[in-house]
């Protein structure tokens, strides 16, 4: 008897529930009957003094630009979902909106004796500038099972939300590299350790790695390769990826710079730095990667390439000097050099007989007279003190000095010849003769 009564009551309750749900033909009916609920909120939220969370429409806490803001959308029903929910695309001004989870989080929760089926979505916002941000009402498509083989589909709207963003430190600006994240690592690897000796043509590879939690690869800074005449810079495509695990979202970015050395000397690659705003400790921490220095030496091939113009010019000039010297030497051997040059060479070599010959030849060429000393001329060797001194040396029997004396005597006759003959030479030739005369006296 008791079993019969219990069965009747259960059937009556089930019939009443089915009748009530049968009246729900739209999602709005389900909302009014409190059989379908939707809510949205932002984390982290700020608590009031009594420990309760702020209302969903206004979030009291301030975020930093580029900090991850988590937007949660929750849909729950006391029935079950006939299909997955769908979040329509939306945008927030001056902010990146990413749906990094491709699937909703499905679970069941019991509240006040009622078991709810829940689908929860997590979206991430990355505001870029300071100011107030408004998250608009977001359309959500749902499909709820109303009865075996039947379902109710429709669209729900979330409540608009707002939050504030402010720059936490004046050193953070658009002109510097900085990241806002609770965790961040910044490291580098060289293929050749600094302070090593290199040669022109060697390659240096610098791999920089940035990894952070609760951020995106789109917000991690990029570092351009160093540009200089000493190196030729290249950059590979790099490796960048976003991932997810139980601790949150992770971003990883790897940048590789390759430098081909072009010149010798001291090579200095600069340091790299960025600023990290720690969203957990609310502190600003500078991160720096040291640069590197190398001593670069030439290879034979690089030396030729670097100084090819100097080498070519030296070879050309050296060849011209050798050719000119050989040509002058041949002309000297055949007495075809200019008179003044022949005379200078013979004086330098102390070939006094040849000097005398040159003087007689030049005297004959200028005056047409075969006799060097004219009778009664004031340019005779007896009138020249130096000539008399050389005559004294001739009496000593020194053959070399005797020849030198004859040269000086001949030069005296040529030097003290008539004024007209002397003025027949140009000023340059007259000056040259005087220089040669001083050279003879020194010798």
Residue 345 sits in the same domain as residue 434:
yes
pLDDT digits (tens, 9 = 90+) for 94-130: 999 999 888 889 999 998 888 999 999 999 999 999 9
The answer to whether 124 and 136 are in contact (CB under 8 A) is no
Q: pLDDT band for 174, please (50, 70, 90 cuts).
A: confident
For 260-285, what is the mean pLDDT?
91
Domain assignment present for residue 172? The answer is no
For 129-152, what is the mean pLDDT?
88
First to last CA, the chain: 157
Distance CA 248, CA 122 (A): 11
Q: What pLDDT does 277 receive?
A: 95
10 Å Cβ neighbour count for 74? Answer: 19
DSSP state of 422: H
More confident residue, 18 or 137: 137
More confident residue, 51 or 359: 359
Residue 148 sits in the same domain as residue 58:
yes
The 3-class secondary structure across 380-419, one letter per residue, is CCCCCHHHHHHHHHHCCCCHHHHHHHHHHHHHHHHHCCCH
Residue 152 sits in the same domain as residue 205:
no
Residue 147 sits in the same domain as residue 209:
no
Residue 123 sits in the same domain as residue 212:
no
Q: pLDDT band for 338, please (50, 70, 90 cuts).
A: confident
DSSP state of 152: E
Task: Name the average pLDDT for the chain.
Answer: 77
Query: Which of 165, 191, 209 is the endpoint of a domain?
Result: 165
Domain assignment present for residue 140? The answer is yes
Domain assignment present for residue 397? The answer is yes
Distance CA 66, CA 128 (A): 5
The lowest-confidence range among 96-100, 171-175, 323-327, 378-382 is 378-382
Domain assignment present for residue 261? The answer is yes
Owning domain of residue 224: 178-301
| Residues in contact with 123: Cβ distance below 8 Å, sequence separation at least 6, in sequence order | 70, 71, 72, 73, 87, 97, 98, 99, 100, 101
For 405-412, what is the mean pLDDT?
57
Look at residue 383 and tell me whether its pLDDT is greater than 80: no
Query: Which of 112, 132, 165 is the endpoint of a domain?
Result: 165
Sheet strands side by side (includes 86-87): 86-87, 139-147, 150-157
Residue 269 sits in the same domain as residue 352:
no
Q: What pLDDT does 289 receive?
A: 95
Q: How far is CA 341 from CA 234, 335, 350, 358, in A?
A: 62, 10, 14, 10
More confident residue, 3 or 274: 274
Distance CA 418, CA 171 (A): 95
More confident residue, 402 or 145: 145
Residue 134 sits in the same domain as residue 223:
no
Domain assignment present for residue 428? The answer is yes
Residue 158 sits in the same domain as residue 119:
yes
Q: pLDDT band for 19, please (50, 70, 90 cuts).
A: very low
Residue 192 sits in the same domain as residue 225:
yes
Specify the number of domains making up the chain: 3
The answer to whether 144 and 79 are in contact (CB under 8 A) is yes
Cα Rg, the chain, nearest whole Å:
52
More confident residue, 279 or 55: 279
Residue 146 sits in the same domain as residue 208:
no
Domain assignment present for residue 322? The answer is no
Q: What pLDDT does 24 receive?
A: 56
Domain assignment present for residue 171? The answer is no
Residue 194 sits in the same domain as residue 263:
yes
Q: How far is CA 106 from CA 79, 103, 109, in A?
A: 14, 9, 10
Q: What pLDDT does 100 receive?
A: 86
Residue 156 sits in the same domain as residue 192:
no
Q: What pLDDT does 177 receive?
A: 93
- Residue 316: CA count within 13 A, CB half-sphere: 6
More confident residue, 353 or 409: 353
Query: Which of 301, 323, 355 is the endpoint of a domain?
Result: 301
CATH code at position 62: 2.60.40
Q: Please state, for a pLDDT cut of 90, what percent of the chain lies above it.
A: 37
Domain assignment present for residue 327? The answer is no
More confident residue, 138 or 25: 138
Q: What pLDDT does 259 receive?
A: 93
| Full DSSP string of 213-268 | ES--GGGS---PPP-BTTEEEEE---EEEEEEETTEEEEEEEEEEEEEE-S-EEEE
pLDDT digits (tens, 9 = 90+) for 206-250: 999 999 999 999 999 999 999 988 889 999 888 999 998 887 899
Q: What pLDDT does 194 receive?
A: 86
């Amino acid at each position: 008897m008791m079993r019969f009564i219990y069965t009747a009551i259960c059937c009556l309750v089930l019939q009443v529930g089915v009748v009530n749900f049968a009246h729900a033909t739209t999602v709005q009916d389900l909302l009014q009957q409190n059989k379908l609920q939707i809510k949205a909120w932002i984390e982290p939220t700020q608590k009031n003094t009594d420990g309760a969370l702020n209302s969903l429409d206004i979030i009291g806490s301030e975020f930093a630009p580029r900090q991850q803001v988590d937007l949660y959308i929750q849909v729950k029903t006391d029935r079950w979902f006939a299909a997955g929910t769908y979040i329509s695309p939306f945008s927030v001004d001056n902010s990146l909106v990413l749906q990094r989870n491709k699937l909703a989080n499905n679970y069941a929760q019991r509240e006040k004796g009622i078991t709810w089926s829940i689908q929860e979505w997590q979206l991430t916002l990355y505001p870029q500038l300071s100011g107030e941000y408004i998250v608009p009402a977001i359309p959500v498509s749902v499909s709820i099972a109303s009865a075996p083989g039947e379902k109710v589909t429709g669209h729900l709207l979330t409540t608009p939300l707002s939050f504030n963003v402010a720059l936490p430190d004046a050193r953070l600006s658009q002109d510097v590299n900085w990241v806002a994240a609770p965790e961040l690592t910044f490291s580098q690897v060289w293929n050749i350790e600094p302070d090593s000796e290199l040669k022109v043509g060697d390659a240096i590879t610098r791999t920089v790695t940035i990894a952070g939690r609760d951020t995106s690869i789109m917000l991690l800074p990029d570092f351009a390769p160093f540009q200089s005449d000493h190196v030729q810079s290249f950059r590979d495509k790099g490796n960048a990826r976003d991932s997810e695990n139980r601790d949150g979202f992770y971003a990883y970015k790897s940048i590789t710079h390759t430098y081909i050395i072009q010149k010798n000397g001291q090579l200095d690659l600069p340091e790299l730095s960025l600023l990290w705003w720690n969203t957990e400790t609310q502190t600003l921490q500078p991160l720096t990667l040291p640069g590197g220095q190398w001593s670069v030496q030439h290879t034979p091939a690089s030396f030729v390439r670097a100084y090819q113009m100097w080498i070519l010019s030296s070879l050309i000039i050296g060849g011209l000097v050798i050719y000119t010297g050989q040509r002058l030497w041949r002309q000297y051997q055949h007495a075809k050099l200019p008179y003044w040059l022949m005379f200078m060479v013979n004086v330098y070599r102390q070939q006094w007989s040849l000097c005398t010959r040159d003087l007689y030849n030049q005297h004959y060429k200028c005056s047409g007279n075969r006799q060097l000393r004219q009778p009664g001329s004031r340019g005779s060797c007896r009138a020249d003190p130096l000539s008399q001194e050389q005559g004294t040396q001739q009496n000593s029997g020194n053959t070399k000095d005797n020849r030198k004396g004859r040269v000086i005597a001949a030069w005296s006759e040529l030097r003290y010849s008539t004024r007209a003959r002397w003025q027949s030479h140009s000023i340059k030739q007259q000056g040259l003769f005087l220089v040669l005369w001083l050279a003879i006296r020194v010798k």
